[in-house]
Amino acid sequence: MDKALILIVACLSLAACSSTRTGSLCTAGPIILDAGASDRLTRGEKEQIVTLNESGAEICGWRPARR
């Protein structure tokens, strides 16, 4: 769990420096959670994931996954 949080923070930090679609954020891709993640993650972790995914959508053009 701590490794995921560190990865999220690192990606957010790199996103601030990235001005192109080839930056680290764009190559990482969005975080897609499984159905049970809601029970395992804290509110803060969920908010960080949403922020990362929204940043990726804006900077890298990520689109929602089709199911």
The secondary structure of the chain as a DSSP string is -HHHHHHHHHHHHHHHH--STTSHHHHH------TTHHHHS-HHHHHHHHHHHHHHHHHH---PPP-
pTM over 0.85: no
Question: Which percentage of the chain shows pLDDT scores above 70?
Answer: 63
Res 2 pLDDT > 90: no
**Could you report the per-residue pLDDT of 21-46, keeping only the tens digit for each?**
555 778 888 888 888 888 999 999 99
